[in-house]
Every structure is written in structure tokens, then in C-alpha cells.
Chains A and B, each alone.
Chain A
Amino acid sequence: MASSAPELLWVSLPQLASGAAQTLAISALGMLFATLGGVLYGVLATLGNRGLNIVLQVYLELFRAIPVLVWLYLVFFGLPIFFGVSIPSFWCAVLVLGLWGASEIGEVVRGALRSLPRGQREAGLSIGLSGWQLYGYVLLPQALKRMTPPTINLYTRIIKTSSLAVLIGVVEVIKAGQQIIERTYESVLIYGALFLFFFIICYPLSAASRVLERRWAHS
């Protein structure tokens, strides 16, 4: 095994890249659905409907009590049994990340909306805005700044958690790395590279979140 480290990495690049693409795809789709679901959750949670709030609370507590990895297994093993459908593990991962992410982002959105002065809602209603218009033109735009830094932090969590997809068989970046290690035995190098891969993606996001939080910190 005379290959030097950079040479080895260079040769493995295509395989790693294809794995990385899977990781990024799972993460991106997860973030997308989590954001859409989260905004919906936040809006529904601030409508003041008691029945709705109970449903949302049960949903939230289910995803908080049961760890994400367990959810991955529940969906991966359980879906075929319960509903007779067998979906590829890639989409199991996206589904779980989306649902879990939505509950977390939803709480952020809910908190942000509730932190707005109550009068904004009343003033909006008083000029005849409908529910949709009230949230779309008045409440959500003003909640946006408060929602963004915590949501970006949740994005990094989603990206990190996507790594668990390897445990239900998705050929993403970790699996790709492990396949390379099987051939080359360069575990320190490859795992080190994976370490760096995630760090390079997540650190800028964390830093951005902090910068935004500081810049937008008003009352």
C-alpha cells in the first residue's frame, strides 16, 4: 500500500462525492419539509384552537420522547408491516428528518409568533385582513428575524442527524467511506475526511446563526 494520503483521497473522490451527494440530498429534502411543516405547525399552534393544540402537543412529545434513530427504525421496519408499503430507506430518512425537524422548527416558529405584541394581530384584523392575510402580510414577516437563527441551528442538527441514515442502509457518504476502508484499510484517513466533511458544512451555518442573532438582537 504505497499510496500517499492525498493520492488515496483523490482516487476515492468519485465514490465519496456520490455518497456526499446522497447525504446532502437527504439533508436538503429533510430541511425543506421540516421548514414547510414547521411553519405550518407554528401557525396552527397560534390559532388558539384547543383541540388543535392538543394534537400538536402529542405530535411534539412523540418526537421528543422517541429518539430520531428509533424513529428511523420504526419507519423502516414498521411501515411495511403497518401499511404494506415498502419505501426506499432514502425516503424513510427524509420522512423522519422532515417530521422530526418540523416539530422542532414548529416550536421555534410558535415561540416567535407568540413573542409578537398581541396588538399586531388585532390591528391586522381591524382592517379586515383574513386569517391567511394576517399571517402572510403581518405576523410571519415580523416573526422571521426571530425565527431564523434557531432555525439555522436546527438545520445543522438535521444535517448531522442525516448521518444516521447509514444505519438503515442508505449508501450515503459514511457508507461510501466504509466501502473505501474495506479496500484500503485507511480508516483514520477516511473517517477523518468524513469528520472534516461534516464540519465544513455545519460550522459556517452555526457561525452564521450566531452572527445573525447578534445583529438582529432587539427587544
Chain B
Amino acid sequence: MTFDIPFILSTLPAFLNAVGVTLQVGLIAIATSLLVALVNATLLVLRTPYLSRLVKGYVELARNTPLLIQLFFVYFALPSVGLKISGFTAAIITMTFMGGAYLTEVLRAGVEAVPRAQLESGRSIGLSEGQLLRHVILPQASILSLPALFANFIFLLKETTVVSAVAVPEILYTTKNYIALYYKTYEMLAVLTLLCVLLFLPLSLLLRYLERRLQHGQFGA
């Protein structure tokens, strides 16, 4: 079993680009999911009658269906009703749809984890519900949610590999491409594995460290 090192080196620029795409898709998805989740969480906390139920329904729908199906639906099915979108766009939309649901759950659990005693003492010093939300609930919920949020961010980054199914040139797609073109399966799989370990292992260890520092339980995903 010999490694064709020169070949591997020749593919490095492409892989570097692929890592860039992975990060692009991942980071955009994280940002948009977080936005969606913040809106949802606010709606849930404020208990708006109709919208809260809508949010809950959305969360259940997005969390109980596979990313791949959601992706295919957006990419293949929507064009038939006139919307033609690129793989990249479909990926972002889908990952936001799924990521938003997961992060909504994390934030909701974070809010619920704020001890009741905090709310009671806040009210008893005369804070309004809005002030209570801003000064007591949100700060504490944010800290409580941090480990789970970070865990879900890592999850979203890893799920970018699924969007290779709609030809987004991230690391898995690039690997498959090279294997199909040059048959250097062994070398390409090794590069892919190495990239995954380099990208995701440090994040996983960072999460472990973060959890230990904050010493709170995990919830959400």
C-alpha cells in the first residue's frame, strides 16, 4: 500500500478551497439558525398565543425529519413550482430550517433552566416582565445555553457534509469527485479523514473544556 504523495499535494489547493466552502456554509448556517432561534425563543417566552404553537409545530417538524429529505425537497421539488435555486442556496435554506429548530430547543431549555427563585426575587423587587426578561432571564439563559449551543454549532458544521448530495463543493464532494476522476481512493479517503479530524476534533475537545468550565448539563439536540 503506497501513498501517491505527489498526487495528494496536487489536490491540496482544491481541498483548501473545499474547507473554505465547508466553513462558509457552516458559519452562515449557524448565524441564520441563531437568528431564527432567537426570534422563536422570544415568541415562546412571551407566550404569544397563535405564534407559539406555530413555533412548536415548526420545531417538531424540522427535528423529526432527515436533513437529506429537507434538502432534496428544497432543491428538487421547489423548481417544479417555478423556483430554481443553486445547490448552495438550497443548502443554506435547509440548514437554517433544521438548525433553527435545534437552536430554538436549546434556547427554550436554557430559559426554562433559569431557577424559579430568580424570577420570584426579580418580581418581588418590582421588575416588570420586560425588565425581568432583559435583566434576569436572558443573561442567565444565555450562559446556561452556551455548552449546548456550541455543541449544536459543531453539529451544524459536521452536517455540511450532507449538502455534498446537491453538488456543493465542500470536502466530501471534492473527495468523491477526485475518486471518480482519478481512482486514487485510498489517498483521497485519507485526506478526507485527516481533514475531518483536524477540523472537528479540536472543536469537540473545546466543547468538553467548555462544559467542564460551566458545569451545566446538556440539552437541546
Contact = CB atoms under 8 A, between A and B. Distances in A.
A195 interface: yes
Contacts of B51: none
A156 interface: yes
Contacts of A198: 64-66, 69
Nearest to B203: A65
Contacts of A120: none
A70 interface: yes
B80 interface: yes
B204 A74 contact: no
27 contacts: A61-B201, A61-B204, A64-B201, A65-B196, A67-B161, A70-B196, A73-B175, A73-B176, A73-B189, A74-B192, A74-B193, A78-B186, A78-B189, A81-B185, A81-B186, A160-B67, A164-B162, A167-B68, A187-B76, A187-B77, A187-B79, A188-B73, A191-B73, A191-B76, A195-B73, A199-B64, A206-B63
Nearest to B164: A69
Contacts of A194: 69, 72
A185 B164 CA distance: 23
B204 A64 contact: yes
Nearest to A187: B77
A102 B64 CA distance: 21
Contacts of A192: 73, 77
Given A69-B161, A188-B77, A206 B60 contact: yes
A163 interface: yes
B167 to A, nearest CB: 12
Interface in A143-168: 156, 160-161, 163-164, 166-167
Nearest to A201: B64
Interface of A: 61, 64-67, 69-70, 73-74, 77-78, 81, 156, 160-161, 163-164, 166-167, 174, 181, 185, 187-188, 191-192, 194-195, 198-199, 202-203, 206
Contact of A74 (B61, B70, B77, B189): B189
Q: Which of A65, A195, A202 gathers the greatest number of chain B CB atoms within 10 Å?
A: A65
A164 B158 CA distance: 14
A185 B81 CA distance: 11
Given A160-B65, A198-B66, A198-B69, A65 B185 contact: no
A73 B77 CA distance: 26
A64 B221 CA distance: 14
Given A66-B193, A67-B200, A187-B76, 19 more contacts: A61-B201, A64-B200, A65-B197, A66-B197, A67-B172, A69-B161, A69-B172, A70-B196, A73-B192, A74-B189, A77-B179, A81-B185, A160-B67, A167-B165, A188-B80, A194-B72, A195-B65, A198-B66, A199-B65
A191 B69 contact: yes
Contacts of A65: 196-197, 200-201, 204
Interface string B163-186: 011000000100110010000011
Q: Please tell me the size bucket of the interface on B.
A: 35 or more
Interface string B59-94: 011011111111011001111110000000000000
Given A65-B196, A66-B196, A191-B73, A77 B189 contact: yes
B185 A77 contact: yes
Q: Which 7 A-B pairs have the closest CB atoms?
A: A202-B64, A163-B66, A160-B66, A65-B201, A187-B77, A67-B158, A191-B73
A133 B132 CA distance: 53
Contacts of B211: none
Contacts of A156: 64
B43 to A, nearest CB: 20
Query: Most chain-A Cβ atoms within 10 A of its Cβ — which of B67, B77, B81?
Result: B77
Nearest to A156: B64
Contacts of A67: 158-159, 161, 172, 196, 200
